[in-house]
Amino acid sequence: MTGSPSTVPRAPGRLPLLGHAWPLLRRPLELFQELRPLGDIVRLDIGSMPVYVLTSPDVVHQVLVAGARGFEKGRLFDRLRPLLGNGLPVAEGEFHRCQRRLVQPGFHHTRFDDYARIMARHAERVALSWEAGRRLALDSELHELVMAITAEALTSAEAGKDLVREIHRSLPTVARGVIIRALAPKALDRLPIPLNRKFGTAATRLLTAIDDVIERYRSAGIVEGDLLSMLLTARDPDSGAAMSDRQVRDETLTLLVGGTETTATALAWVFHELGRHPEVEDRVRAEVTEVVGDRSVELADLERMPYLDQVLHEGVRLHSLPLLMRRAITTVTVGGVEFPEGTEFALSQYALHRDPRTYPRPERFEPERWESIPRSQRNRVFIPFGAGTRKCLGDTFAWTEMAVILATLVTRWRLAPAPGHQVREIPAASPRPDALPMIVTEVPAR
């Protein structure tokens, strides 16, 4: 027998008019974890709109995988559509399926040897620029590194140099403003506050730069081995149709936003945890040295470094995305409750990945825990890139990038937390450190 939405418990702390919007904006990471004891599904209100938060892996699997055909992306992505257009994260239905098929060749396994070489070369360049005893703003260093890698993978032609410069200038502002605009009431978008002005200016500059480089590629007939060329030359296998320039722009911006902020931030947290656990860092370093030696890291090396992979899993688990949403496009039954068409659902990977029912001692950094979690079960309990047919298409690119950068840097330098700073986690599209100052020291000779 199925229940009705009225039987779903509502979170405490609802305010008139605002609902739960204020705690969602101020402390979303804590709020989503506080919902877990209330039930597998808990109601939050954003203004007057109810949102049903999924708090257990089983109900999340029902929505993202088993019953995925009954859902579309929902409110979070409605709010992103003015920026991302109809790129893959916000596209729906048959258009999404066709578009995913057009973009997918850019992430075919045959391209990853080249991607890994780009990643290793940029990581080595950064490692050579550091000096022993130097105090680094490591989060900024890693953002610059990941943006450089993404920019070269996207556009390797001379025509793309202006875009690369604009990526470095504007993309951080755009990426970090996404989660605020997604959660805040829509009326706030029109207010002339500094946040909106900065976001609007940066987004306009970045979109203009993408349009300019697309026009230059088209007019000059540029065909490189980069992602932008792949997008411009892709053809639907059934109709033979190409993407419009607007659609290429939307997908390019999606790749930029999805391929930089989240990856760089996750990697920053991994180095933060290694700095707090030098014995883990030493073990990673020993594994990489044994496999790679003095040469550059290659794609084939990654399969031979299981402990490094466990470290990445654990760092990403502890610092995952705060929010993902879906909307029912028909009547659906979730967790024994029947919900009508149009119902909004939400889940927090951050909270799911800290569920003590799945991860004992969830607040602790314990890479060894992944030895006891079979790979066949991970897709249900570890979903940093989503799951099902809407899983992020760039997941392998991001994971490869993190692994190559970590393997390259850890063998050359030891990174220790700078004294006098207590790192705090700041809610954003991907929770980021308020600052990550670290001291570079030489790796002791073996």
Nearest to 355 by CA among 33, 116, 67: 33
Q: Say which amino acid occupies 235.
A: R
**346-387, pLDDT tens digit by residue?**
999 999 999 999 999 999 999 999 999 888 888 899 999 999
Q: Tell whether the model's pLDDT for residue 176 goes beyond 70.
A: no
The CA distances from residue 196 to 176, 192, 203, 237, in Å, are 12, 6, 10, 41
Nearest to 281 by CA among 303, 258, 311, 309: 311
Average pLDDT, the chain: 89
Q: Which CATH number covers residue 39?
A: 1.10.630.10
In whole angstroms, give the CA distance from residue 52 to residue 66. Answer: 18
In whole angstroms, give the CA distance from residue 388 to residue 69. Answer: 10
Least confident of 204-218, 295-309, 361-375, 399-413: 204-218
In whole angstroms, give the CA distance from residue 157 to residue 159. Answer: 5
Nearest to 171 by CA among 261, 98, 246: 261
Q: Tell whether the model's pLDDT for residue 77 goes beyond 90.
A: no
**415-442, pLDDT tens digit by residue?**
999 999 999 998 776 788 999 999 999 9
Q: Tell whether the model's pLDDT for residue 180 goes beyond 70.
A: no
Euclidean distance between the first and the last CA atom of the chain, given in angstroms as a whole number: 66
Split at pLDDT 50, 70, 90, the class of 167 is: confident
The residue behind tokens 């290793």 is: 120
In whole angstroms, give the CA distance from residue 331 to residue 340. Answer: 5
Contact 284, 392 (CB under 8 A): no
Q: What angle do CA 96, 102, 103 make, to 5 degrees?
A: 90
Q: Tell whether the model's pLDDT for residue 183 goes beyond 60.
A: no
Quick one: average pLDDT of 266-280?
A: 97
Q: Tell whether the model's pLDDT for residue 119 goes beyond 90.
A: yes
Is the pTM here over 0.75, yes or no? yes
> Given this model, what pLDDT does residue 79 score?
65
Quick one: average pLDDT of 73-99?
A: 73
In whole angstroms, give the CA distance from residue 302 to residue 310. Answer: 12
DSSP of 337-374, one letter per residue? EEE-TT-EEEE-HHHHTT-TTTSSSTTS--GGGGGGS-
In whole angstroms, give the CA distance from residue 318 to residue 270. Answer: 9
Q: Tell whether the model's pLDDT for residue 57 goes beyond 80.
A: yes
> Given this model, what pLDDT does residue 188 score?
61
Q: Tell whether the model's pLDDT for residue 189 goes beyond 80.
A: no
Contact 137, 437 (CB under 8 A): yes
Cβ burial of 155 (10 Å; 0-12, 13-18, 19+) is: buried
| Domain housing 144 | 5-442
In whole angstroms, give the CA distance from residue 295 to residue 289. Answer: 10
Nearest to 60 by CA among 326, 429, 321, 313: 326
In whole angstroms, give the CA distance from residue 302 to residue 320. Answer: 22
The CA distances from residue 119 to 122, 259, 406, in Å, are 5, 13, 11
Q: How far is CA 272 from the centre of its chain?
A: 18
In whole angstroms, give the CA distance from residue 36 to residue 378. Answer: 20
**225-250, pLDDT tens digit by residue?**
888 888 888 888 878 888 889 898 98
Cβ burial of 434 (10 Å; 0-12, 13-18, 19+) is: exposed
Quick one: average pLDDT of 130-158?
A: 91
Q: Tell whether the model's pLDDT for residue 88 goes beyond 80.
A: no
Question: In the chain, how many domains are there?
Answer: 1
Which H helix or E strand runs over 23?
Answer: helix 21-26
> Given this model, what pLDDT does residue 358 score?
93
Interior/surface letters 305-316, b for 16+ CB within 10 angstroms, e for the rest: bebbbbbbbbbb
> For residue 43, what are its two tokens?
């109601």
Nearest to 323 by CA among 172, 179, 174: 179
Quick one: average pLDDT of 333-341?
A: 96
Bridge partners of 135, per DSSP, are 439
Higher-confidence position of 110 and 1: 110
**191-229, pLDDT tens digit by residue?**
666 767 887 888 889 889 889 989 988 888 877 888 888
Torsion of CA 159, 164, 165, 171, to 10 degrees: 140
Q: Tell whether the model's pLDDT for residue 282 goes beyond 90.
A: yes
> Given this model, what pLDDT does residue 383 score?
95
